[in-house]
Amino acid sequence: MYLRAFTILFVLTLCAACTEPTVSSTPTPVPTPSPTPEPKTLTVCLLDEPDSLYLYGTDSLAAQHVWQAIYDGPLDSRNYVHQPVILTDVPNLADGNAALETVTVQAGDRVLTVGGEVVELAPGVTVRDVSGRRVTFDGTPILMQSIIVTFTLHPDLYWSDGVLLTADDSVFSFELAADPVTPTDKHIIERTANYHAVDARTVVWSGVPGFLDHAYFLNFWHPLPRHAWGHLSAAELLSAEISTRHPLGWGPFVLREWVSSDHITLVRNPIYFRAPEGLPRLDEVTFRFIPDPTTLAGELLAGRCDVVTHEAVNAVRAAFPSIEEDEEGAIAALSTYDARWELLAFGISPGSGYD
C-alpha cells in the first residue's frame, strides 16, 4: 500500500519534471517594409530641341547638352588642365606616349609646306627640314619631323548595349569624320598621315611631316559603334533613325524616350564603367524643350525646371532682368570662366626676308 502510493507519486513527479513549463505566447512582430526610395531625378530645360543626336550630324547646343549625359569624355578640361576620362592618360612627350619622329620624304609624299598647306611633295615645294631650316625640294630626299601619339583606352568600357568598346570604334569615327559627305572640320584630318588601331585598346595617330601640332594630345577621335552602324554609309548615318534618334553611348545615362517637341528622358546606365564608384548620383535626367523665355521662366519659378542652360539663362534674363532677385532666393546663377579669349593684333605681316 505504501509502496504503491510512493510509486505513483514518483511517476507523477517524474512526468512533471519532464514537462516544459507553460510560457505565455508573444506574437512575433511583423517587420515594417522599407519604403521604396523615390528615384533621384533632374529636369533640365532647354530653349531648343536637338535636330539630331548624331555626333557628326549637328552642332546644336541642345544636342551637346544631351551628349554630356550619354557619352563621357574622352577628355575633360578642369581648371584649364586636360584630364583623361576613357583614356588611361593624356599623352605627352615627357612620358613617351608622344614622340617626335624623323622621317625621310620624297616626291609624292604628303607634307606640310612652310605656308601651312598640305601638298604632295614636288620640285619647287618649300618645307622645313628636321633642323627647322627652309628647304625647297629639288628631287633630293629631305629629312623632316612628324609627331606620333599613342592613345590607350580604359579597360572596362562598354557600349550601352553591352558590347565592348574598342580602339577600332575610334578608327571608325575617324573614317566617318574624314568622309567628304560628313559636315566636319577637316583641318586635323587633312594633316593626319595615319590613324590606326594597334590592338583592342590602343590607337596611334601620326601627323604629316612638318605638322608639329601643339595640341597633339587631342587628336583622338570620339568612338562610334562600328558593330551597330558599320553597315551604313557616312551619308546614311546623317539621317538614319539609329544614329540621329537612338545613339549608343558608354556614359552614365542611356536614352529611354524622345517625345518630339516635348522632352528627352535618359535613365541610369547600369553598365557605366564608373558605376562601382556610385556614379551617376541620379536615376533619371529629363531634357524639356521650352522655346518661349516667358514660359521657361514660369516653369523655373514653379520648380518644374531644376536647371536651365546658359543660352536659356540669357534669354530669360533678357525677358526678366530681375528674375534672380526673387525674395526667397529660389533661383541661383552659377557662372564659370570661358576658356576662349579675343585678340586684335596689328603689324603681324612678316617683313621682307622674314623667316
Residue 5 clears pLDDT 90, i.e. is over it: no
Task: Give the residue from 149, 134, 141, 148 showing the smallest Cα distance to 101.
Answer: 148
Using an 8 Å Cβ cutoff, are 348 and 354 in contact?
no
60 and 174 share one domain: no
pLDDT exceeding 70 applies to what percent of the chain?
Answer: 82
Please indicate, yes or no, whether residues 199 and 248 belong to a single structural domain of this protein. Answer: no
Q: Is residue 190 part of a domain?
A: yes
pLDDT confidence of 330, banded at 50, 70, 90?
Answer: low
Average pLDDT rounded to a whole number, residues 40-66: 97
347 within some domain: no
At 284-308, the pLDDT tens digits run 999 999 999 989 988 988 999 999 9
Contact 137, 125 (CB under 8 A): yes
Do 174 and 212 share a domain, yes or no?
Answer: yes
- Shared-domain flag, residues 68 and 90: no
Count of domains observed in the chain? 2
Average pLDDT over residues 237-257: 98
Band of the pLDDT at 27, cuts 50, 70, 90? Answer: low
Name residue, grid cell 612638318. Answer: 210
More confident residue, 324 or 97: 97
Cell of 117: 598647306
Question: What is the band of 344 on the pLDDT scale with cuts at 50, 70, 90?
Answer: confident
CA distance 350 to 344: 17
Residue 284's beta-bridge partner residues? 41, 267
Residue 171's pLDDT is: 99
pLDDT at 19: 39
Query: Given this model, what pLDDT does residue 7 score?
Result: 32
Judged against a pLDDT cut of 90, whether residue 353 lies above it is answered with: no
Cα distances (angstroms) measured from residue 196 to each of 2, 167, 173 = 110, 8, 11
**Lookup result for grid cell 530669360:** 316
- Give me the pLDDT at residue 23, please: 47
pLDDT, mean over the chain: 88
* pLDDT tens by residue, 127-177: 999 999 999 999 999 999 999 999 999 999 999 999 999 999 999 999 999
- Which of 151, 134, 20 shows the shortest CA–CA distance to 84? 151
Indicate whether 326 pLDDT > 80: no
Give pLDDT, residue 6.
29
CATH of residue 274's domain is: 3.40.190.10
Q: Is residue 111 part of a domain?
A: yes
| Judgement on whether residues 302 and 191 belong to the same structural domain of the protein | no
Phi, psi of 2 (to 5 degrees): -70, -40
Question: Can you tell me the mean pLDDT for 208-227?
Answer: 98
91 and 216 together in one domain:
yes
| Domain, as residue range, for 251 | 41-82+227-325
* 111 lies in the same domain as 148: yes
Same domain assignment for residues 118 and 214: yes
- The amino acid occupying position 347 is G
78 and 112 in a common domain: no
Q: Is the pLDDT of residue 28 over 80?
A: no
Domain of 175, CATH number, reads: 3.90.76.10
Residue 145 located in a structural domain:
yes
Question: What's the mean pLDDT in 323-350?
Answer: 64
